[in-house]
Amino acid sequence: MKLSADLIALQKRIAYRFEQGELLTEAVTHSSMSSPSRGDNQRLEFLGDRVLGLVMAEALLGADVKASEGQLAPRYNALVRKETCADVAREIGLGDVLRLGRSEMKSGGRRKLALLGDGMEALIAAVYLDGGFEAAQALILRLWGERINSVEEDARDPKTSLQEWAQSRGLTPPAYIETARSGPDHAPMFTIEARLDNGETETAMAGSKRLAEQAAAKALLARMTAHD
């Protein structure tokens, strides 16, 4: 299958050449562009998530042979979560080549965290099906790079850490309240307040509710632990 110029350029950016070009085309096709004659990347996304997980689990075991399961699990979660996949997707310009329907195009789909993360997982699966596990493993290790070695020893989600801190002191789990939303529909900004039932709060703003919640939780936990 002959690939378009933008997909040929993507191959160069990821340093992998497809033997089955249709797999790459499928990997970058969002469901908003699917049709009876054109598949989308949802099935590949499902597979790519599992391939990524196996590669990361093995890499983390090799990177720290003394780490316990309790230490490895949060590091693993930090490396495979959708935000990290989306970050890698941005670095390789994956959003520029996504095949999107008109509605997704109008709503800024090329910049959406979920679409970028899903597309990255689909791309991993496409490489796996085209070249086998070793090819997919090499791609992942190359694109994730220093993230694997530099992932924080305590890489737990800030919301989880704040909840554990609160519960250890007899407090109920923190609440997260959306206090404001600004910006256009295709690029909204959310302001979230993290609140403990002792009255302590912190506020953060981000392009998704999840990121804003995490940022608010991190800020609140940092302030509370500084008082300990």
Q: Is 64 a catalytic residue?
A: no
Write the DSSP string, 21-41.
HHHHHHHTB-GGG-BTTB--S
Structure tokens at 43: 């099935």
Contact call for residues 14 and 143 (beta carbons, < 8 A): yes
- 204 — phi, psi (to 5°)? -145, 160
> Looking at residue 109, what DSSP letter applies?
G
Q: Which of 104, 121, 130, 193 is catalytic?
A: 121
Residue 162: φ, ψ to 5°:
-65, -40
**Residue 27 corresponds to which amino acid?**
A
Active site residue 121: yes
> Residues 49, 104, 202, 213: which is the catalytic one?
49
Positions marked catalytic: 49, 121
